[in-house]
Amino acid sequence: MTTTTVSAPAATMRDGYKDYGSGEAAVRALDGINVSMARGEFTAIMGPSGSGKSTLLHTLAGLDNLSAGSSTIADTVITDLSEAQITEVRRKYIGFVFQSFNLIPSLSAKENITLPLDISGTKVDPAWFDEIIGILGLKDRLTHLPAELSGGQQQRVAVARALVARPEIIFADEPSGNLDSKSGSELLAFMQRAVKEFGQTIVMVTHDPTAASYADRILFLEDGKIVDEMREPTADRVLDRMKQMGH
C-alpha cells in the first residue's frame, strides 16, 4: 500500500442518533454524531459517564443499532443490514477487547486466541501468531486455562485474540480498566505499537487520561455530542480538558 493514496476510513458515522426508551422516558444517548475513524490510527473516546461513549462504540461496531443516521465498516454501510449480515461483517472486519475478557473457561489460552479464526475456518499465520505471543509475553501460558492466568494475562490473551485475525478495526472498551498500572501500560503500549508498526486501527473508550494519552487523537463526548478533538495528547492536557467538562 502506498502512502500517497488516501484510503477510505475504517469506520464512519453520519448523523448518528440513538434513543433509548420512548415518549417522556426517552433518553438520547447519541445526538447527531458525525465521525470518521481513519485507517492506521488509534482513537480514544472520552467524556463524563452517561455522555454516550459506550453507545458510540457499540453502534459503530454494529453491536447496537442506531435510531437514525448511518454507519459504515470497511466501506460497508451496516445500518441497513440484517442481524446475520452485520454478524458476518463483524466477524470479517472487527476485533473486540472488552473489560470483561470474554474468554471461554474450558479452552486454553491458545484455543481462545485462535477461536475467531477457527470459527471462520481461516488458517492461523504462524509467524504473525508467534510475533503477537512474543510481544505480549504469553509464550509459556498458551496451554493454561483462563482460571490459571492472572487478570493481566487474561487481558493480554483477549488482545491477542483480537489481533490474530488481523481485523480491519479493533474496538476496545476500557481495555486496561481491570489491570494494575504496569500491566495496563504494557497493554496500551502494545496497542499503540500495533497501530504504528502493523497499521492496525483501534477505537478505544476510556475514562483514564493516562490510557487516552497513548492514542493519536481523542474525541470528547458530552451529552451524546462530540464537543472536542485532541491530537497528540498528553495525560495532563487530557486531564485539564476533562476538568472543563464537569467530570
Residue 210 located in a structural domain = yes
**Rounded CA gap, 183 and 162, in Å?**
17
Identify the weakest region by mean pLDDT among 33-42, 102-111, 145-154, 175-184. 175-184
The answer on pLDDT for 85 being more than 80 is yes
Is residue 9 in a domain? no
pLDDT at 104 over 90: yes
Instruction: Determine the pLDDT at residue 244.
Output: 85
Note whether residue 28 is domain-resident. Answer: no
Query: Could you tell me if residue 123 is inside a domain?
Result: yes
Identify the pLDDT of residue 243. Answer: 87
Pairing of strands 217-222, 42-46: parallel
The residue with greater pLDDT, 144 or 137, is 144
CATH of the domain at 239: 3.40.50.300
- pLDDT at position 246, please? 61
What average pLDDT does range 26-52 have in this prediction? 94
Identify the domain containing residue 135 by its residue range. 39-65+80-244
pLDDT at 6: 53
Residue 219's DSSP bridge partners are 45, 229
The single-letter code of the amino acid at 205 is V
Does 22 reside within a domain? no
Residue 73 domain-assigned? no
pLDDT number for residue 3: 46
Domain total for the chain?
A: 1
Residue 1 lies in a domain: no
Residue at 155 is within a domain? yes
Per-residue model confidence (pLDDT) at position 137 = 86
